[in-house]
Structure 1
Amino acid sequence: MNRKERRAANKRRDESAKRPNAPGFGSAADLAAEASRFYGMGRLSEAQEICRQILAREPAHVQSLNLLGLMAQASGDHRAAVKMFVKAIAADEVNAACHYNAGYSYQALGNRAKAATHFSKALALGMDAKAGSLILQSPVITSHLGRIDVKWPLPVTNVELFGTEGVAPLASDLFLRCAMETTTLASIPIEVLLGYARAELLRLAGNQGSEDDDIVAFACALAGQCFINGYVYGRTEADAEGASALRDRLLQDLASGAAITPLVLAVVAASFPLHALPTADALLHRDWPAAVTGLLRMQLREPLEEMAERNAITALTPIKNSVSVEVMRQYEENPYPRWTVNPLTAFVADQARGKIALTEERQAKLDILIAGCGTGSHAIQIAQVYPNARLLAVDISMTSLAYARRKTRELGLRNIEYAQADILELGSIDRTFDSIESVGVLHHLAEPMPGWRVLVPLLRPGGTMRIGLYSNLARRVIVEARARIAARGYRATAEDIRRCRQDIFREAEQWKPLIGAKDFYSMSGCRDLLFNVMEHRLTIPEIAAFLHDHGLSFQGFEPFDDPTVMEKFRKQFPGTADEASLDQWHRFEIEHPETFWDMYVFTVGKNVHGSFRAPS
């Protein structure tokens, strides 16, 4: 090497040392952020080089392995992609994104069993919240939706939509199938498309059509989605009649012992819950393919188990209040919500990674009351966070409690006692608690403040209470919708709820907050959202007055999903922003009425020393 070449090499070395992606420079996190930036800019070779530098130091660096896998995936090298994703999962087995990415590449390689396993794992680990947006990225889905959009809101025919291929392209989408079996898909386009798919499957089944494995598995998955969402999808009168005729034919074949094709069974289950059909339990004594067995577990075995669970639930208090009786009837008919995956996946995942320690507080043998536990998701979250706590979870609906008990048993949790009770009557149970949680419940009582007042003496001195209440300002669109529902004479029946939703779809611009709410996409959720027997909405001054009168100290609102909320809050009160000031939060909400769209969710303490500031 001559002098000129040495100078050039030294210059390149010096420039390389100054770059953030140089070996030995910066933390792995900084380098990974730089690699992600280059990846986003399409500078793949530079992103790959940085990832390799990181892996030279940390061979199990998950983000770098995942990024290399994505770049291999983008180039069509799915074998190389799978190798990267498998290594990433070995280092972090609860990483939902890595499981999803692995599933995508396994599907591309034709390994459908492994693809489905990884997709299901991703959904169970929290990917269910993003399922709708991921499905809408599928070229098959977008091509079908494009054909609908051309004529929307006018209908297209099944021939126009599906052509000669029928639903086969949809049926081959494994992530779509896994998502339908796992979570409510909260998307108008997906709902419309699946509505057409159900009609096409009904036509196939009525004509003794395809028994292709993928078509049957897709039909079973769609039946699972319909069961999870409470059969909320709208349908034409002709489709409703066709579904009823197919159901009657199935029942006749079941009674006579005749053969029943898997497709017929699945299509009937996409319109009617199997457990509600007479003698349906006889279906359990026949041989079925795996997809149908899973469907029967969801729609028959589990409901039968819940019926058995009811016998083990204690009636802790009477239910005498007339509004309480009506509310109980609502949630007996539509238990809310119907969930399928572990409700605290993020916490469980972080605990598995060692990011969450079993602190002294978490190990404490606390007595906790969940006042209004619904179908158990909330109680199960708390039981996982505090494994040594003793939980009493009460609800007014026996159907909801039975669902909660089954899910709790499936998860192997043993520290929850379920009982039927009316919050208004809990003063008679002669028990006190270190912590009380009542989120989304008090505003459905005949009067929320008397119900809240019942809970205060049950809280031990120094204890905390977590409360969730509807905001009067945030729910103005709900008030408008409920007024519209009353004016048009919609009743809280399944058929009227379907018709109401279809009307709202056609006027989507006016009702954006509604159609953006996940509850809108299930029968129980929509009834809870728009057709509730009783709903009260409160203001921050009303909450503050209650706290003042009952010796409770405000400890703060729950962290907001939207990080800009706190930025706006501090900007509105520069230098004086106080997250514990209800006066400031009241003034903030007036300026930003959408802040508490879901609920006010906050914690208060009992007999905690310190000043209390009620809003003016």
Structure 2
Amino acid sequence: MNRKERRAAGKQRDVSGKSAPGFGSAGLSIADLAAEASRVYGMRRFNEAQQICRDILAREPAHVQSLNLLGLMAQAAGDHRAAVKAFAKAIAADDVNAACHYNAGNSYQALGNRGKAAAHFSKALALGMDAKAVGFILQSPTVTRYVQRIAGKWPLPVTNADLFGTEGVTPLASDLFLRCAMETTTLASMQLEVLLGHARAELLRLASEQEQHEADDDIVGFACALARQCFINEYVHAQTEAEAERAGALRERLLQDLASGAAITPLTLAVVAAYFPLHALPAADALLRRDWPAATTGLLRVQLREPREEMDERGAIATLTPIKNDVSVEVMRQYEENPYPRWTVNPLTAFVADRTRGKTVATAEQQAERDILIAGCGTGSHAIQIAQVYPNARLLAVDISTTSLAYARRKTRELGLRNVEYAQADILELGSIGRAFDSIESVGVLHHLAEPFAGWHVLASLLRPGGTMRIGLYSELARRVIVEARARITARNYRASADDIRRCRQEIFREAEQWRPLIGAKDFYSMSGCRDLLFNVMEHRLTIPEIAAFLNDHGLSFGGFEPFDDPALLEKFHKQFAGAADETDLEQWHRFEVDHPETFWDMYVFTAQKRTN
């Protein structure tokens, strides 16, 4: 499944809920009217926009964009009851529209219905808005106020007293979308990381000074959400020595209370969980035998029940090949300690819902029975996407890390998928398994082998004639800043330990201008992601001529690079080779990359087909 297919599968509307309705048979089409409604709405000519939306709804009562625009205009007028009615109609017509759920959440929060607000925010995030969460959070007036206070002191540190004043974290705790996002996805933002670091320290102060009286529900809910965020990013946030000592003391107090059967407040438990994973605490299972509020129960599920389930899954993972290569053993150790990537939300939720309801129909290729190999499946997100798009395919998903595979198996089981077989294997040894495949995908994996081309050769030997490969490899030109950062890490003797990774990240934050590409990378904001990005035990970088030579030597035809996140890059490519541009010409792409070395910052991700003769 290529990037274009994934985008089509998981495509979400923007916050206006804009869709692409069909044309009417007379007069202005609904599409033209909808475009005009959006235009005048953007100019804040609400009376005109409302009238156009009503005209559209007279012809098409379930027109989602019009219903959503009416809801947004009611919101702007402060009429949130009317707004939720409009959003409810839009959701009834399209219940996988992330924008409508987000907008409904805002109005329910304004009405004080926090339960419904949180439900709609969570649904929006599950439907793909997790990728946009940071942008929406940073637009919050509350968050903006705190971010500005921190920036006003930069580069000097701001104190919690300066930042929170007499209000404490109460205003932050009232932001339901922030709380839902913290529970759902890694918040990849330096500004938010600094703010949440201060919030965690303030909660630690509260819990440490608190006797047995209970904090209010919002504070507890916020603390639980923050603990879940810390678990998702694997405790990558920095902390001072004094803070670490205080957190350790609170942990010891919790363990003593747990052993003695004394009361433990939900705030104490949540704050400890924001510094230490609960499943690693001695006798942690005793926590499951106590009664807790809903937010705490959710925290225990994520930090205790699910890790226990993954431990059980490890025993069911078959070993398909031995792990003998010295580099492979080191890489395996890295990903056992830091399984990658950490993910929580199924990226194809909306796609699967639409297919289930018959709104989209699988193509003949997607319906076909075929054998697919995912070589280097990590924690399963890739394999799960393929399994959902190709429900009749037989998938073998292999990885070198049993910790990653256990996570993948749990998530696959949760989604009810039955067409994926997981196994531990080294790509370098896969030639011994005696199987062949119609399609092989290996994205972001081969460059971590001792010999990338040797591994790629093994995969090519397993591909049936006419079969396709999807490969992702690091670019030598694009990753110059990574090479520079790795050299700095070596020179300063940073190790791949949690403490050193935290210290290294703080140094990069202090020199933000120099390291802007790193600070903008999502992987930088989790422990496993940062280790994969900057501390990997093995990384090769390749060039397009090397790729072209391999394809030619192994009877593979280049099928093209996947669509770029920035469409302007492709426009530049066609402009550079005006009249002669060929997107399957690797020589042209090499010349283009030399002129535009940032082109393949992520990776070279491309397809190739095995010739039949």
- Counterpart in 2 of 1:179? 181
In 2, Cα distance between equivalents of 1:25 and 1:526 = 56
Q: Find 1:151's aligned residue among 137, 146, 153.
A: 153
Q: Find 1:90's aligned residue among 74, 89, 92.
A: 92
Instruction: State whether structure 2 residue 602 is matched by structure 1 residue 598.
Output: yes
Matches within 5 A, 1:363-382: 363-382=367-386
Offset at residue 608 of structure 1 (A): 5.0
Q: Find 2:515's aligned residue among 508, 511, 522.
A: 511
Offset at residue 158 of structure 1 (A): 1.0
Supply the AA of the counterpart residue of 1:288: W
- Counterpart in 2 of 1:105? 107
Instruction: State whether structure 2 residue 327 is matched by structure 1 residue 320.
Output: no
**Do the aligned partners of 1:229 and 1:523 also contact (CA within 8 Å) in 2?**
yes
Please say which structure displays the higher CA radius of gyration: 1
Offset at residue 27 of structure 1 (A): 1.5
Offset at residue 267 of structure 1 (A): 0.1
- Counterpart in 1 of 2:132? 130
In 1, Cα distance between equivalents of 2:508 and 2:358 = 46
Supply the AA of the counterpart residue of 2:37: A
In 2, Cα distance between equivalents of 1:292 and 1:124 = 21
SS in 2 for 1:365: coil
Supply the AA of the counterpart residue of 2:533: L
Q: Find 2:49's aligned residue among 26, 47, 50.
A: 47
Deviations 1:512-566 (A, max 9, x none): 1101100000000000000000000000000000001111110111111211111
Q: In the superposition, relative to structure 1, how do residues 559 and 349 fare at CA in structure 2: closer, same or farther (>3 Å)?
A: farther
- Counterpart in 2 of 1:232? 236
Of 116-125 and 249-258, the range deviating more from structure 2? 249-258
Offset at residue 26 of structure 1 (A): 1.8
**Do the aligned partners of 1:443 and 1:470 also contact (CA within 8 Å) in 2?**
yes
In 1, Cα distance between equivalents of 2:164 and 2:45 = 39
Q: In the superposition, relative to structure 1, how do residues 586 and 299 fare at CA in structure 2: closer, same or farther (>3 Å)?
A: same
In 1, Cα distance between equivalents of 2:418 and 2:381 = 15
Offset at residue 24 of structure 1 (A): 5.7
Deviations 1:291-328 (A, max 9, x none): 00000000000000000001110011000001000000
In 1, Cα distance between equivalents of 2:126 and 2:600 = 28
Q: In the superposition, relative to structure 1, how do residues 200 and 93 fare at CA in structure 2: closer, same or farther (>3 Å)?
A: same
- Counterpart in 2 of 1:568? 572
Supply the AA of the counterpart residue of 1:538: L
Offset at residue 343 of structure 1 (A): 2.5
Supply the AA of the counterpart residue of 2:112: G
In 2, Cα distance between equivalents of 1:350 and 1:517 = 31
SS in 1 for 2:165: helix
Choose between structure 1 and 2 for higher RCO, CA contacts under 8 A separated by at least 6 residues.
2
- Counterpart in 1 of 2:475? 471
Q: In the superposition, relative to structure 1, how do residues 354 and 582 fare at CA in structure 2: closer, same or farther (>3 Å)?
A: farther
Matches within 5 A, 1:247-286: 247-286=251-290
SS in 2 for 1:231: coil
- Counterpart in 1 of 2:433? 429
Matches within 5 A, 1:532-611: 532-607=536-611
SS in 2 for 1:123: helix
In 1, Cα distance between equivalents of 2:483 and 2:359 = 42
**Do the aligned partners of 1:468 and 1:600 also contact (CA within 8 Å) in 2?**
yes
Offset at residue 345 of structure 1 (A): 3.4
Instruction: State whether structure 2 residue 195 is matched by structure 1 residue 190.
Output: no
Instruction: State whether structure 2 residue 400 is matched by structure 1 residue 357.
Output: no
Instruction: State whether structure 2 residue 275 is matched by structure 1 residue 289.
Output: no
In 1, Cα distance between equivalents of 2:267 and 2:235 = 18
In 1, Cα distance between equivalents of 2:106 and 2:357 = 24
Instruction: State whether structure 2 residue 65 is matched by structure 1 residue 63.
Output: yes
- Counterpart in 1 of 2:164? 162
Q: In the superposition, relative to structure 1, how do residues 353 and 88 fare at CA in structure 2: closer, same or farther (>3 Å)?
A: farther
Alignment length (residue pairs): 589
SS in 2 for 1:414: coil
Offset at residue 153 of structure 1 (A): 2.1
SS in 1 for 2:150: helix
Supply the AA of the counterpart residue of 1:323: V
SS in 2 for 1:510: coil
Offset at residue 607 of structure 1 (A): 1.1
- Counterpart in 1 of 2:9? none
**Do the aligned partners of 1:391 and 1:417 also contact (CA within 8 Å) in 2?**
yes
- Counterpart in 2 of 1:612? none
Offset at residue 87 of structure 1 (A): 0.3
**Do the aligned partners of 1:125 and 1:349 also contact (CA within 8 Å) in 2?**
no
In 1, Cα distance between equivalents of 2:466 and 2:24 = 54
SS in 1 for 2:609: strand
**Do the aligned partners of 1:373 and 1:394 also contact (CA within 8 Å) in 2?**
yes
Offset at residue 356 of structure 1 (A): 3.2
Offset at residue 458 of structure 1 (A): 0.5
SS in 1 for 2:227: helix
**Do the aligned partners of 1:23 and 1:53 also contact (CA within 8 Å) in 2?**
no
Q: Find 2:78's aligned residue among 64, 73, 76.
A: 76
Supply the AA of the counterpart residue of 2:476: N
**Do the aligned partners of 2:512 and 2:519 also contact (CA within 8 Å) in 1?**
yes
- Counterpart in 1 of 2:487? 483
**Do the aligned partners of 2:473 and 2:541 also contact (CA within 8 Å) in 1?**
yes
**Do the aligned partners of 2:24 and 2:30 also contact (CA within 8 Å) in 1?**
no
In 1, Cα distance between equivalents of 2:358 and 2:490 = 52
SS in 2 for 1:467: strand
Supply the AA of the counterpart residue of 1:496: D
In 2, Cα distance between equivalents of 1:355 and 1:593 = 41
- Counterpart in 1 of 2:466? 462
**Do the aligned partners of 1:66 and 1:85 also contact (CA within 8 Å) in 2?**
yes
Supply the AA of the counterpart residue of 1:359: T
Supply the AA of the counterpart residue of 2:530: C
Offset at residue 355 of structure 1 (A): 5.3
Offset at residue 349 of structure 1 (A): 5.3
Instruction: State whether structure 2 residue 310 is matched by structure 1 residue 306.
Output: yes
**Do the aligned partners of 2:96 and 2:350 also contact (CA within 8 Å) in 1?**
no
Supply the AA of the counterpart residue of 1:181: E
Unaligned runs of 5+ in 1: 1-20, 610-616
In 1, Cα distance between equivalents of 2:156 and 2:80 = 41
Offset at residue 25 of structure 1 (A): 3.0
Offset at residue 406 of structure 1 (A): 0.1
Which portions of structure 1, spanning 4 or more consecutive aligned residues, are displaced by more than 4 angstroms?
21-24, 352-355
Of 218-227 and 354-363, the range deviating more from structure 2? 354-363
Supply the AA of the counterpart residue of 2:517: P
Offset at residue 350 of structure 1 (A): 5.1
SS in 1 for 2:166: helix
**Do the aligned partners of 1:552 and 1:608 also contact (CA within 8 Å) in 2?**
no
In 2, Cα distance between equivalents of 1:294 and 1:57 = 45
Supply the AA of the counterpart residue of 1:437: E
Deviations 1:206-245 (A, max 9, x none): 0116511110010000000000001000111110110011
Deviations 1:29-59 (A, max 9, x none): 2211111111111111111111111111101
Supply the AA of the counterpart residue of 2:209: N
Offset at residue 348 of structure 1 (A): 2.9
**Do the aligned partners of 1:553 and 1:608 also contact (CA within 8 Å) in 2?**
no
Offset at residue 195 of structure 1 (A): 0.2
**Do the aligned partners of 2:127 and 2:347 also contact (CA within 8 Å) in 1?**
no
Q: Considering only aligned residues, what root-mean-square deviation do their CA atoms show, in Å? A: 1.4
- Counterpart in 2 of 1:341? 345
Offset at residue 353 of structure 1 (A): 7.0
